Amino acid sequence: YQYPLMFGLILAFCWCSLVCCSRIYMGMHSILDVIAGFLYAILILIVFHPVVDLIDNFNLTYKYAPLIIISLHLALGIFSFTLDTWSTSRGDTAQILGCGAGVACGSHVNYILGLQLDPPPHTLPLSLSSLTVTVFGKAILRLLIGVIILLLTKVAMKKATIPLACKMFRIPHGDVRRARQRMEVELPYRYITYGMVGFSLMFIVPCLFHFIGLS
């Protein structure tokens, strides 16, 4: 979509500021952590931006891309869980990796089934449509339906994965909070649950919108 450059810069600055300040406010990271993370993000952007189209094309078109995506994200999750003590950051990391894997797999399925193709190059950039009562109401309805489906997906997967992980690794599940502090429970719970949330976001919810005429 075509939008003013200054608007995009202001939005990016505000979003980054809120994320960074929230980390400090919640006591999750120090100011030095945030600065280091910001610089690291710039480094990642410099390295990956030139090849992002190649990676995207691989995720969408390669036959075994979902298997590679899931394996890679799962390996990164296991690697990041090598902490001596429990930390909420471990769960957050698994949650981000699982959601990313689900989104990538959902995009792959959409492409294979021909459900969401990119618009033709000659139609780009798209212009923002004018805000009318109909457009606003449709957007709110899509938001409500989408959020409800994602919440139901999260609740269903949580109820299924935590007892299953506890049973597999013979961990008492009477105290769910204590059980989730174990890597054997937290990793599959976060990864599978938010992987399904990401998959639903990219595939199931759009299919539902198309079926009920909200696309």
Whether residues 43 and 58 share a domain: the answer is: no
What is the total count of domains within the chain? 2
pLDDT at position 82: 62
For all residues of the chain together, what is the average pLDDT? 88
Whether residues 60 and 104 share a domain: the answer is: yes
Whether residues 173 and 81 share a domain: the answer is: yes
Give the residue ranges of the chain where pLDDT is below 70. Answer: 80-87, 116-118
> The whole model's pTM is what?
0.81
Whether residues 45 and 56 share a domain: the answer is: no
- The pair phi, psi for residue 213, each rounded to 5°, is 80, 30
pLDDT at position 175: 77
Range of the domain at 14: 1-49
Whether residues 133 and 207 share a domain: the answer is: yes
pLDDT at position 66: 93
Following DSSP, what letter does each residue of 20-78 receive, concatenated?
A: HHHHHHTTSS-HHHHHHHHHHHHHHHHHHGGGHHHHHHHHHH-TTHHHHHHHHHHHHHH
pLDDT at position 85: 61
Burial of 21 (0-12, 13-18, 19+ CB in 10 A): exposed
- Choose one of 33, 49, 65: the last residue of a domain: 49
Whether residues 28 and 107 share a domain: the answer is: no
Distance of CA 192 to the CA centre of its chain: 12
Whether residues 5 and 101 share a domain: the answer is: no
Whether residues 191 and 97 share a domain: the answer is: yes
Whether residues 22 and 56 share a domain: the answer is: no
Whether residues 182 and 153 share a domain: the answer is: yes
Whether residues 24 and 124 share a domain: the answer is: no
User: Tokens for 41?
Assistant: 């993000």
Whether residues 193 and 136 share a domain: the answer is: yes
pLDDT at position 80: 67
pLDDT at position 3: 82
Q: What is the pLDDT of residues 176-195, one digit of tens each?
A: 778 877 878 888 899 999 99
